[in-house]
Chains A and B, each alone.
Chain A
Amino acid sequence: MNIFRFAGDMTHLASVLVLLLKIHTIKSCAGVSLKTQELYAIVFATRYLDIFTDFISLYNTFMKLVFLGSSFSIVWYMRSHKIVRRSYDKDQDTFRHYFLIVPCLLLAMIINEKFTFREVLWTFSLFLEAVAILPQLVLLQRTRNIDNLTGQYIFLLGAYRAFYIFNWIYRYFTEPHYVHWIPWIAGLLQTLLYGDFFYYYFHSWKNNKKLQLPA
């Protein structure tokens, strides 16, 4: 494992923990999109179908369990916790899941390396991860209410994506036959979706101001 891959995994982990800790300690999920969190739970559930069948390393298995556990915990908090769920911006978080899930599933059935149940769902999880942040970005635009933690959450997710791209570039030049179009294109698209948000994030950080998105 190279340093970019490890940094990517750690920022990904940090993003999820920041969100979980925020919800757990301040008992509020204001500004957090449940739609995005449910999509991430689906992403991990469909990607890690191999968790008990294909052993790669203790690190991999452990991280998979952490991502599955944390994403489902966040969804549970937002839907079922008697205090947290009251702070959920239900009326603003109106993005429909199936607008993203159905096209990703269809695309995964057309574009895949092998037409099998696991391969199609694995490809589906890559496509869905690429667009899963959209309900969150829409919610931010609507409420324009971004506390520091929500901003940091999205910033860390973006950093994770950027590190993974460096990881792929590194592996492309250091490992023979390392060419994987599907995750690369899905990953590149996902990183681009953060570009706009990053612009405003850095702008507010540079001017030492609270992050505000334009209407």
Chain B
Amino acid sequence: MLELRLVQGSLLKKVLESIKDLVNDANFDCSSTGFSLQAMDSSHVALVSLLLRSEGFEHYRCDRNLSMGMNLGNMSKMLKCAGNDDIITIKADDGGDTVTFMFESPTQDKIADFEMKLMDIDSEHLGIPDAEYHSIVRMPSSEFQRICKDLSTIGDTVVISVTKEGVKFSTAGDIGTANIVLRQNTTVDKPEDAIVIEMNEPVSLSFALRYMNSFTKATPLSDTVTISLSSELPVVVEYKVAEMGYIRYYLAPKIEE
């Protein structure tokens, strides 16, 4: 038996909007740690890892570890029927073939049950090793979204380079080239507006902008985004989900042949 009650139901709505265009079907795993998901896009270029810790739920009951295969498009359709202020409860029976989403209005005068069919999904779980990253950039998520959107009007690939000078986002296309440089800036009124560049070693990597733009669907979840880069590894683009967890996107680099 599984019963997870999330007072801030809008978080789950935003989480689905952040992953449904990248991944069609995925297994949600439920354990005493929390509600999690790991899935790759169909071409295995990007991987998304979601964790919503059990402590973040008002009520968290998960008697046995449970893996529930869901079509994310269908799940998104159902969650769109929840109001932004609604409390969302996820319910499922061990071995059952459905999951129920219950939406309660804040004043408790409207209660809705949406039951969704589960599916069998054959997914491979990858081990993500802990890594020391060469450079880590934290910036306002809206700024990162703007940069990815702007550069994708010029080119298909972004080169992200971190040096002593700052972090540079570059692209090139048929009509010309673009370079956007951000410098560290911590003298801001609000900490979420800061640009923090932690450079252990300079790094320069190329990535497909199509995927970066897809990751920025998570912008409504968090004021800040963290980009971790190492020359030997996929980039990690991380958005915190309130105090309860994170969405991490891993994107494999483009490599010169």
Query: A and B, one complex?
Result: no
